[in-house]
Copies of this chain bind each other. A is one copy, B any other.
Amino acid sequence: MRDKRSKQDGDDEPSTRPRFLQIADKIREKIERGDLTVHDILPSERSLSEQYNVSRMTGRRALEALETEGLVYNADRRGRFVSPKRLNYNVSNMVSFVVNAQTNEFDLEINVIEAAESIADSRLAALLEQPEECDVVQYTRLFHSGNHPIFIETEYLIAERFPDFLDHDLRQSTAQILEKSYNTSANTGDIVIRMRGVQAHEAQLLNIAASHTVIELEQVIRDDKGTPFCFGRQVWRGEMAEFSAHAIVTR
């Protein structure tokens, strides 16, 4: 298609920087300048390869680079689009996250993926400070904003303490349910945040490629007596997550 570029054809300055990153840079600039804005469609792999006179695989790598950066998302076989802004999650404010998000510029929608009673495995039982194989209520929900998935949350509650919990409508803040119907509210939490590879079923729900990366947030939530009553795990699209906290140094 085109001859091998050699050093002397004075087109670019950093001829060391790979071609696919140069192309990614140009697209990134367009996004930062505002030529392309949130949810706008990007050029396809094939059109990029024509435009820059490279092979499709090179155009693809440029787009993939922007994708792993999080600037761009990919709706399976429809094209690639500019990602929306991040959502800020304040870890000191667990209770009212859904309420906050709904009253702010984001309006979060919730899909209930699964809701069932089950039995705690040993790790879960230990975290909840319960005997092994105790009954738990578990539900998984997908949080999204206008069809754009943001994170998956799975929560486990001690069944005994929250009878008939699953009769409630789970498309709302569960903190509100707990407070109104069971007079229980979160007081402290132990939180862990890490980055890890996505699992196949998560990738499907979050609409990302199976070889991508997510942010996992796990928390044990305690009441005002310090007794744990909930374990939660959130799996975020990395580019949609931003966690803030106010730390007080312990000595």
Interface pair B241/A190, CB less than 8 Å apart: no
Tell me, in angstroms, the Cα distance from A209 to B94 when the chains sit together: 35
Partner of A249, one of B61, B92, B249: B92
* Cβ 8 A contact of A69, one of B196, B247, B249: B196
Which chain A residues numbered 196 to 218 have a C-beta less than 8 Å away from chain B? 196-197, 210-213, 215
In the complex, what residues of B have CB within 8 A of residue A249's CB?
92-95, 185-189
Please report which residues of chain A, range 28-61, place their CB below 8 angstroms from some CB of chain B when the two chains form the complex. 61
Q: Which residues of B contact A193 (CB under 8 A)?
A: 193, 242-245
Q: Does A4 contact B (CB under 8 A)?
A: no
A191 within 8 A of B: yes
Cβ A21 vs Cβ B68 within 8 A: no
Q: Is the interface of A mostly helix, strand, loop or mixed?
A: mixed
- Interface contact B188-A248, CB-CB below 8 Å: yes
Copies of this chain in its oligomeric complex: 2
Q: How far is the CB of A84 from the nearest CB of chain B, in Å?
A: 15
A246 on interface, CB distance cutoff 8 Å: yes
Q: Given A213-B69, A213-B238, A247–B92 Cβ distance below 8 Å?
A: yes
Chain A, residues 63-102, CB within 8 Å of chain B (1/0): the string is: 0110011110000000000000010000111110000000
- Contact: A192 with B247, CB < 8 Å? no
Give chain B residues whose Cβ lies under 8 Å from the Cβ of A168. none
Interface string of A210-251 (1 = CB under 8 A from B): 111101000100000000000000000011011111111111
Q: Which residues of A contact B (CB under 8 A)?
A: 18, 21, 24, 61, 64-65, 68-71, 86, 91-95, 185-197, 210-213, 215, 219, 238-239, 241-251
Q: List 3 tightest A-B contacts by C-beta distance, closest first.
A: A69-B197, A195-B238, A65-B211
Could you list some 28 contacts between A and B, CB below 8 A? A21-B211, A65-B210, A65-B211, A68-B212, A69-B211, A69-B213, A70-B195, A70-B197, A86-B194, A91-B245, A92-B248, A92-B250, A93-B249, A94-B249, A95-B251, A186-B249, A187-B249, A188-B246, A189-B246, A190-B246, A190-B247, A192-B244, A193-B193, A194-B243, A195-B195, A195-B215, A213-B213, A245-B247
